[in-house]
Amino acid sequence: MIKELLKTARGVYAILFLALLAACDRPPQLPRLNEGDTIVAFGDSLTHGTGTSHENSYPAALSRLIRRTVINAGVPGETTSEGLERLPDILEEHQPRLVLLCLGGNDMLKHQDNGQTESNLRAMIQSIRATGANVVLIGVPEPKLFSGAPDFYEKLAEEFSLPYEGEIFNEVLKDNRLKSDPIHANSAGYRVVAERLAELLKETGALP
């Protein structure tokens, strides 16, 4: 009898352990998006779609994939300080349910302090959440060889329990077939970004 109970207990613990591992691998969850909800992609040239046409930018490709409105609010050359100033008007105009936040590359190109970039992104996340919208954070790789996104992106994602995609632009910009120049994707590259983000939104529960 005791052996059977121990065997049962071990089985229960094994199931709980596997469930815990699965939960750890799962990104923070988001509310389900309705068909009429608006998503804003907020960022710089990577969001704007520099290197391809507007119709082949990642927000446009994502909109087609998920059949939701995705507003392209990307401004080439924009720093996080400039984005912080622009953000309130975008939020008021579009009243999004979800914001895909992808900024910081121009700060790095201009050798601005990482601490200030982190602070600006934190303020943007807080501003977005204050409107009731949710945030997906997208990391931008540092503009140097064999470099991924700086640690502050992941730090902010953990601080605010945000879904975070920190690898996709790094992967795309390492593949000559997927980029138009050293720091921008091409049509195929932006399509890959859109596919990865669509997958992430499904993993978060935002999409069925």
What does the pLDDT average to over 54-77? Answer: 98
Residue-averaged pLDDT of the chain: 91
CA dist 190 and 63 (Å) reads: 12
CA dist 104 and 117 (Å) reads: 7
Is 88's pLDDT higher than 90?
Answer: yes
Tell me if 118 sits within 8 A of 155, measured CB to CB. Answer: yes
Beta bridge partners of 179: 185
Structural domain spans, the chain: 2-203
Instruction: Tell me what pLDDT residue 146 has.
Output: 60
Backbone angles phi, psi at 64, to 5 degrees: -70, -35
Instruction: Tell me what pLDDT residue 110 has.
Output: 96
DSSP per residue, the chain: -HHHHHHHHHHHHHHHHHHHHHHHHSPPP-PPPPTT-EEEEEESHHHHTTTS-GGGSHHHHHHHHHTSEEEEEE-TT--HHHHHHHHHHHHHHH--SEEEEE--HHHHHTT--HHHHHHHHHHHHHHHHHTT-EEEEE----SSTT----HHHHHHHHHHT--EE-SHHHHHHT-GGGEEETTEE-HHHHHHHHHHHHHHHHHTTS--
Instruction: Tell me what pLDDT residue 82 has.
Output: 98
What does the pLDDT average to over 118-142? Answer: 98
Is 206's pLDDT higher than 90?
Answer: yes
> Taking the chain, what is the end-to-end CA distance rounded to the nearest angstrom?
45
Is the pTM higher than 0.75? The answer reads: yes
Is 135's pLDDT higher than 60?
Answer: yes
Q: Name residue 134's amino acid.
A: N
Instruction: Tell me what pLDDT residue 6 has.
Output: 54
* Model confidence pLDDT, tens digit, residues 137-191: 999 999 876 679 999 999 999 999 999 999 999 999 999 999 999 999 999 999 9
Q: Which CATH class is domain 2-203?
A: alpha beta
